[in-house]
Amino acid sequence: MLSERERQMLESIEADLSSVDPRFAAGMRAGRPLAPREYRRTWTVLLAVLGVLAFGAILITGHPLAVVALVIVSITAVVRFVFRGLDTA
């Protein structure tokens, strides 16, 4: 059985978790948690796919806009990687 202080601490942790990552908290309440936000790879996979597509467009067409697209995707991926590293450190 939890003491009153332990219950208050648990409620505080739950409130913090709900404010930081509401989808994860809702999953925990339902008994089917999602991975926490810092472990989700959605944007990383999307950037990788866009990079491969832009690279393929460069190889097939050689169009300058495809090069620009690849540069933009690459810069976005690097910035995301750096900020993810800073968030988890």
pLDDT tens-digit map of 8-23: 998 898 888 888 878 8
What CA–CA distances, in Å, run from 15 to 22, 24, 87, 88?
10, 12, 20, 21
Q: Examine the domain organization and report whether 79 and 65 are in the same domain.
A: yes
- Say whether both 4 and 26 belong to one domain: yes
Is 1 in the same domain as 19? yes
Residue 89 pLDDT exceeds 50? no
Put simply, whether the predicted model's pTM sits higher than 0.75 gets the answer no
Check whether residue 48 and residue 78 sit in a common domain: yes
- Structural domains in the chain (count): 2
Residue 74 confidence (pLDDT): 86
Beta strands in 23-72 (DSSP E): none
- Supply the range of the domain harboring residue 71: 41-89
Same domain for 24 and 55?
A: no
Contacts of 4 (CB under 8 A, 6+ apart): none
State the CB neighbour count (10 A cutoff) for residue 67.
14
